[in-house]
Structure 1
């Protein structure tokens, strides 16, 4: 695990600050949709975000992402809202930043070429978000309730994990 003591490499503070704060920003995007999270939930998400920033390769990251996505599913019972788009961008930003932070210890500088590569990859992934949102809005009144979206998200995550394990390159 990353050691959180010692010298800090160039670029580490901004990258880890994104990891710590972007999940909270995604959670607070529900304010734009008219639903405020409880203060304890915001505090929990911030605490988990800071933990993820300290240990970017740990399961804390998956935990905070699940908490935020669950809040979106539970808190917005009326269905999909346009504020889901910036929330998705915030979560993706946190994930990309954590990936960059996990490449080495805190003292290691963040490589610019690696940063460009992961930002490009993240933007390509995010391009699917507005398309998916438009498709969901396009189906109109036949949009299933929020728990169905959460099950769908879990299925996609499981499929992606299985594909990465099965198709991963051996070292």
Structure 2
């Protein structure tokens, strides 16, 4: 197996485990009976990145975060979100071909830039949650949020050059 595939599959294995353990510093260490299936599922996801295993393990981690932390959003989310995104992108890239096929640098750079753009939203969302925590819910805030997400999606889609997959920086 080429080095690029080994590295990608290592990220698929470690991403969900890091994201799961990130709740620990907030005082909510996952129990062993949850950690074992997540590690095993991450192993299956690393071996078969084109299966449903990566998504299933990610959803399991998100479920733990929901149960363990309830309404709070600790700073550990700034570790968990990149870990889950890295695992997701690594699984996507590892599934581009057979395990014996190395990935070319151009594809890795393209998806690396895309992942970095997605990661830019994490600190902004975290700061927004912290600033709005405890504030009374304003009527229409969800409608405004969905509208903003739709506008951002349309703008991002309009900026992508479909021939190259690159973002047009005009």
Is the TM value for this pair above 0.5? yes
Corresponding pairs, count: 142
Whose Rg is larger? 2
- Are the counterparts in 2 of residues 20 and 53 from structure 1 also a CA contact under 8 Å? yes
What TM-score, normalized by structure 1, do the two folds share? 0.77
4+ long deviations beyond 6 Å = none
Structure 2 runs not aligned, ≥5 long: 138-148, 154-161, 163-170
- Residues 135 and 143 of structure 1: is their aligned pair in 2 closer, same or farther, counting only changes over 3 Å? farther
Say which SS state the counterpart of residue 56 (structure 1) adopts.
coil
Distance 1:108 1:136 in 2: 42
Q: Deviation per CA, 1:98-141, whole angstroms, max 9, x where unpaired?
A: 11101001100021111111111111001101111111111121
Query: Residue 5 of structure 1 corresponds to which residue in structure 2?
Result: none
Instruction: Please point out which of 99, 120, 135 is paired with 1:127.
Output: 120
Cα distance in 2 for residues equivalent to 1:90 and 1:143: 32
Alpha-carbon spacing, 1:143–1:66, altered in 2? closer, same or farther (3 Å): farther
Extract unaligned runs of 5+ from structure 1: 1-7, 145-155, 161-168
Name the structure 1 match of 2:56: 63
**2:4 corresponding residue in structure 1:** 11
CA distance in 2, matches of 1:117, 1:84: 25
Which of 1 and 2 has higher RCO (CA within 8 Å, sep 6+)? 1
Post-superposition CA distance 1:40-87 (Å, at most 9, x none): 211111111111111111111111111001101100135110101110
Q: Distance in 1 between matches of 2:4 and 2:133?
A: 44
- Alpha-carbon RMSD: 2.2
CA distance in structure 1 between the partners assigned to 2:136 and 2:73 by the alignment: 9
